[in-house]
Amino acid sequence: MLVKSLVLKKEKLTTVKETVTLEEALKVLEDSGFRCVPILDESGQIFRGNIYKMHIYRHKSRGGDMSLPVTTLMKNATKTINVDSPFFKVFFNIKDLPYIAVLDESNLFYGILTHARLLSMLSDAWNLDISSYVLTVSSSGDRGDLEKMSKIMSKFVSVSACVTLDAKSNEVVRRTLFTLPTGTSVDTLKEIIKRLEKKSFIVSEIDDLQSGKILNKDTL
């Protein structure tokens, strides 16, 4: 359960009960420094939605009644995932949210998955500390292309990571990003590029992870 391993559990979170007023919720937000926090039912078990500091400020600036319940300005009530949700579902649900609420197997509030935690996990997947270059390889997306490219590289290195882009059925060009391990020499890099392009794959970009620069394959 990848999602579950990334969740910040509710015991460590700042939350408000659905019975608090907007004034009370604003104080919680100001004291905590968060721009929004989860709203839970009185038992602390059921997720109701989120309350955002900016929405309370806007309400207050317009002369709104601050003694109204926090649920008056509640948002994102349906923006949730389960701890056993497939990982791809996170991307369809989190979008512009600072975090998404996570429910347990009984649909009770389990915690939140933040954007920062998600990006950190994706960053780790690049293995930057043990990687040297990222090759962006363009192909037709035909069946077996990924296997062919991988076989060429595996003759020289162990691929640290692989990400495929443009995976829609109507795309005529498929881009695949291969991360090569640290210690990969320039000569090895040149040979991999040569072998790939001999098989009609195009290396469209070479990122040097150590220098942070994009390399020109013609001047390697």
Alpha-carbon span 34 to 114, nearest angstrom: 12
Average pLDDT taken over every residue of the chain: 91
How are beta strands 109-114 and 99-103 bridged, if at all? Answer: antiparallel
Asked if pLDDT for residue 165 goes beyond 90, the answer is: no
Asked if pLDDT for residue 123 goes beyond 90, the answer is: no
Place of tokens 């999602």: 3
DSSP 108-155: -EEEEEEHHHHHHHHHHHTTGGGEEEEEEEEE---TTHHHHHHHHHHT
Asked if pLDDT for residue 29 goes beyond 60, the answer is: yes
Q: What's the average model confidence in pLDDT over 64-89?
A: 92
Give the lowest-confidence range in 40-49, 128-137, 160-169: 160-169
Place of tokens 């649909």: 107
Asked if pLDDT for residue 169 goes beyond 60, the answer is: no
- Tell me if residue 102 falls in helix, strand or coil: strand
Q: Which two tokens stand for residue 20?
A: 């608090």
Please report which confidence band the pLDDT of residue 212 belongs to, taking 50, 70 and 90 as the band edges: confident
Asked if pLDDT for residue 1 goes beyond 90, the answer is: no
Complete domains list, the chain, with CATH: 2-121 (3.10.580.10), 127-219 (3.30.70.260)
Q: What's the average model confidence in pLDDT over 164-169?
A: 68
Residue 79 is predicted with a pLDDT of 92
Asked if pLDDT for residue 131 goes beyond 70, the answer is: yes
- The number of helices, as runs of H, and strands, as runs of E, in the chain is 7, 12
Residue 58 is predicted with a pLDDT of 97
* Residue 32 one-letter amino acid: S
Tell me the pTM: 0.70
Alpha-carbon span 184 to 173, nearest angstrom: 27
CA dihedral (91, 94, 97, 116) in degrees, to 10, reads: -70
* Residue 138 one-letter amino acid: S
Q: What's the average model confidence in pLDDT over 63-81?
A: 96
Asked if pLDDT for residue 125 goes beyond 70, the answer is: no
Q: What's the average model confidence in pLDDT over 176-189?
A: 94
Asked whether 88 and 3 are in contact (CB, 8 A), the reply is no
Q: How many CB atoms lie within 10 A of CB 38?
A: 20
Residue 170 is predicted with a pLDDT of 58
Residue percentage of the chain with pLDDT more than 70: 94
Alpha-carbon span 159 to 125, nearest angstrom: 12
